Structure 1
Amino acid sequence: MGSTVFEPEGGDTVRTTSPDGGVWRTTVEPDYYKSSDNFPEGTEFVSTLNFGNESLDIAKGLAVTSVTYQGDKVAYFELGNEPTNYEESRWNRSTDAYMSEWKQYTHEIDAAVNASGDSNLTSQRWWASSATTDDFGLEVRPVTLIPAGVDSEDQVGIYSIHSYAFSTCDPKRAALATIANILNHTELTHYCDEEIYPSACVTLEVGARWNIGEFNSVSCSGAPNVTDTFAQALWVIDSELIYATRNATNTHLHQGATLALQSKDQVNTPDANGTPGFSTYSILYPRESNLRGPSRTLISFLAQLFMAEAFATSSTRVRALDAPSGVDPELFAAYAFHVDDRISKLALVNMKPYYANSTSGFTIQVDLSSLTHTGNGGCVRMKRLTARFVNTEDSNISMWAGQSFPMGEPVDDMAIDMIGKDAKVSVRGSEAVLVFFDDVYGLCEIRAWNKIVSIQPDRY
């Protein structure tokens, strides 16, 4: 988006590229914006405006165009993408210089959009910052921008931070992008609290909201044989819940094609014939490609199903729990979900890597006896996220509640387990379970009805 321009008479979207595949400019046309109608009703968009070309006219034109063609689907504007990656000479590492230009642009864009009459946006229509956590010298994360007065005109609706704890942009960092490292709960938490949470705290102190505007596990489009394995699903769950417990409003998981020229030393590159190869941290490959093979879901698709169920009830709140006594907190995460001040669900994630040649299952037993009384008449159930081993890339042998989703549709019957009388839950290495203390799919009512008429529980 840092080099996008609008052509009102244009046909198809055009990418202007260099000989080695770098995208220098994307030229979009009205149908680009109208394509938002293909998304489910209620989907909202953040219109990211070109800040990279340092042209107020281009940025202003994109803003007016987006509200003209997308109507009330545009929820926010964002000026530029990752300004920390712009040329150093743009602002010479000066927060004040960046902020002065940001304010000038947003003020004039607001005036143009309001004059168009096509916008239903509130005055607090901007995402601010959208900076990475990389130390490139320009300090424009919310922890710096807010005290400097970026919101002096009350324009900011959400403060955005981009987050990638690992990278394959160069061989040195690529060596650290391993399954064992992305499944280290202690280090994931440490990264969040060092790089993200200071900005979150300042944002919350001024009564504003913050989100992870873009994130994934390994920058430069993922790490093959790591981010396309079952380990990525466990990483997604733990990372999103780490941010949720620190009051993030949203987390936006990055998807898409392998990007060219993110780094001259990047390990993960597009296909040799110049066509994209989809990022290995995506939740699916939308079409066949030379580099990635046939269209299909990746295993991390299952993590989205897990998270959707975890937050399915409105007004759900979540907090982190300590690891049980004797369990290594570096390799285990637990989260309690609350609705109306009662526990409704519990997520348990055993992050110890379990391989095909592992000599132990690394199973952890968690005693829930102190919580089972909160269930619907003692009816406590759970769904299990599991695979045959942590480094599998096969969606056919990776299951959420007994079902695989190799093409996005469930295969086989759903398996919902009932917690036994001992109130203990076993979680093997490289597994996660979601425990339901509330009724799930009416099964608790069926159980009660079966008791009344003396039908055995295994009959329903």
Structure 2
Amino acid sequence: MDSMIFDPTLKLSAVRTENGKGGIYRTTIGPAFYQSWNLFPPGTSFVSTLNFGNNSLALARGLAEASYRLQRDKILYYELGNEPTNYPASRWQRSTQAYVNQWLSFTSAIDTAVNGSSRGKWWASSATTDVTGLKVRPADLIPAGVNSTGQVGQYSIHSYAFATCDPARERIATIPNILNHTDLLRYADVEIYPSAKAAMDSGAEWVIGEFNSIACSGKPNVSDTFAQALWTADVELIYAVRNATSVHLHQGATLVFQSNQQLNTPGDDGTPGFSSYSLLYPINSTKRGEARVLPVFVSQLLVAEALSGGGRIASLKTPQGLRERSFSAYGIYDAGGKLTRAVALNMKPYYAGQEAQRGSVVLGLGAHGGAVVKRMTAPSVDEKDSAKVTWAGQSFRNGAAAGKLVVEELLGSEGEVVLKDSEAVLVSFK
């Protein structure tokens, strides 16, 4: 976003300008970039992202005008700049008010340029939770008057609790750590929720504008395993409980300018490395092998089905005898307060080759009248072959369901379900 330039004469969708080491420092896009939005399924909406990093109103306005002219009916929001917390300290001299003043100046001018279509439709902030001298999280911007002209549609914040940007953080980006539910709750409530609450208190919605498990493109053997599926499902439901309007899971190629110490790098032949936390590897590459879906893919099927039909979601108490750090559960209720679905995740890691027998917990659901269960499972938490990772008995290595659908029936007064270590279930009550 912060290196994009629109060129109306460009015939290609995008041209990437690289340095000698293959780092992309400018992306020039043409009309074909916005026309490519038509390849997405009907009804797909977009956030039109605008360059703020180059400190040029002309560049930002040019992108807005092009997206408006070519795809105005598909634009849901506009976003000015990506992670301003990472901008040079000299830009605003670490002044929140200076940032707000320039943001308001740019967005006002762009609103005029696109015939008022962006008014009330801006994402504000898009900051990380990194500790920097510039305080521009929503909780900082709202008191500083970022919505003084009524331009903000939603407040956005980025969520990355772990990273491989440097050796110190890489060492703690492990499967046991990303599956520590207690720590995931602490991060959400300490780093994210103050901004979420500030947004809601002001009468606005909030979103996770970008998130994933391990910043700097993930960590091989952690974020490309089944552990990522458990992490993603748990975190998306954590934010749903806290009334996020939407969460946007980051995807894409390895970003070489994030850090000169990062673990993930592009392929040796210059081909994309692709982030190891992505839902899939879209093409064959020397770095990641053949194109395929990754184990995390099934988490999206679980969450989509759990939240389908709307309703209210709430965290459920940890059953007696279990540890909060390794177990989480959520209930989804209809408008009348009736429990219609429940999700339970056993986050305790079980590794391939582990000598001890795989543990399990028995949950008594009291499903009077019966219930059905769909299970998200794999042979182990460190499983990397998506052909062995299943949702309701089916795998999705090539994106399409393979195998027979398995829906378990729960009968009897107790309605017990067995949940193995490193496994999750969705229970739908009849």
Let me know the Cα RMSD of the aligned residues.
Answer: 1.0
- 1:19 is aligned to 20
- 1:45 is aligned to 46
Correspondence for 1:256 among 226, 243, 252: 252
Amino acid at match of 1:244: A
- 1:423 is aligned to 415
CA-to-aligned-CA distance 1:368-419 (integer Å, 9 cap, x gap): 11xx23xxxx131100000000101001111111111110111111000011
In structure 2, the residue corresponding to 1:100 is in which secondary structure?
A: helix
- 1:62 is aligned to 63
- 1:411 is aligned to 402
In structure 2, the residue corresponding to 1:347 is in which secondary structure?
A: strand
Shift of 1:308: 1.1
- 1:402 is aligned to 393
Correspondence for 2:364 among 364, 367, 370: 367
Correspondence for 1:384 among 362, 370, 375: 375
Tell me, in whole angstroms, the C-alpha distance in 2 between the residues paired with 1:301 and 1:128: 29
Tell me, in whole angstroms, the C-alpha distance in 2 between the residues paired with 1:274 and 1:112: 39
Shift of 1:338: 1.1
CA contact (8 A) 2:370 2:415 kept: no
User: Superposed, which structure 2 residues align to 1:287-326 within 5 Å?
Assistant: 287-313=283-309, 315-326=310-321
Tell me, in whole angstroms, the C-alpha distance in 2 between the residues paired with 1:244 and 1:415: 27
Tell me, in whole angstroms, the C-alpha distance in 1 between the residues paired with 2:25 and 2:277: 24
Tell me, in whole angstroms, the C-alpha distance in 2 between the residues paired with 1:23 and 1:232: 28
- 2:239 is aligned to 243
- 1:2 is aligned to 2
Amino acid at match of 1:339: D
CA contact (8 A) 2:361 2:419 kept: yes
In structure 2, the residue corresponding to 1:175 is in which secondary structure?
A: helix
Tell me, in whole angstroms, the C-alpha distance in 1 between the residues paired with 2:339 and 2:272: 45
Tell me, in whole angstroms, the C-alpha distance in 2 between the residues paired with 1:392 and 1:135: 34
Amino acid at match of 2:400: E
CA-to-aligned-CA distance 1:253-304 (integer Å, 9 cap, x gap): 0000011121011111111222211110000011111100111100100001
Tell me, in whole angstroms, the C-alpha distance in 2 between the residues paired with 1:3 and 1:294: 30
Correspondence for 2:205 among 203, 209, 214: 209
Tell me, in whole angstroms, the C-alpha distance in 1 between the residues paired with 2:376 and 2:134: 41
Shift of 1:32: 0.6
* Structure whose alpha-carbon radius of gyration is higher: 1
Correspondence for 1:433 among 417, 425, 430: 425
User: Superposed, which structure 2 residues align to 1:131-150 within 5 Å?
Assistant: 131-150=127-146
CA-to-aligned-CA distance 1:421-450 (integer Å, 9 cap, x gap): 231111000000000014xxxxxxxxxxxx
In structure 2, the residue corresponding to 1:129 is in which secondary structure?
A: strand
Which deviates further from its counterpart, 415-424 or 253-262?
A: 415-424
Residues 1:89 and 2:90 are matched in the alignment = yes
Shift of 1:71: 2.4
Unaligned runs of 5+ in 2: none
Amino acid at match of 1:379: G
- 1:337 is aligned to 332
The list of structure 1 runs, each at least 4 consecutive aligned residues, that deviate by more than 2 angstroms after superposition, is: none
Shift of 1:356: 2.2
Tell me, in whole angstroms, the C-alpha distance in 1 between the residues paired with 2:270 and 2:358: 43
In structure 2, the residue corresponding to 1:200 is in which secondary structure?
A: helix
Amino acid at match of 1:87: P
Shift of 1:339: 1.5
Correspondence for 2:279 among 283, 302, 317: 283
- 1:457 is aligned to none
- 1:448 is aligned to none
Amino acid at match of 2:132: F
Identity of paired residues, percent?
53
Tell me, in whole angstroms, the C-alpha distance in 2 between the residues paired with 1:51 and 1:230: 37
Which deviates further from its counterpart, 60-69 or 418-427?
A: 418-427
Amino acid at match of 2:229: A
Question: When the two structures are aligned, how many residues end up with a matched partner?
Answer: 426
Correspondence for 2:345 among 344, 349, 365: 349
CA-to-aligned-CA distance 1:191-210 (integer Å, 9 cap, x gap): 11110000011111111100
Residues 1:191 and 2:187 are matched in the alignment = yes
Tell me, in whole angstroms, the C-alpha distance in 2 between the residues paired with 1:362 and 1:250: 34
CA contact (8 A) 2:159 2:208 kept: yes
In structure 2, the residue corresponding to 1:204 is in which secondary structure?
A: helix
In structure 1, the residue corresponding to 2:182 is in which secondary structure?
A: helix
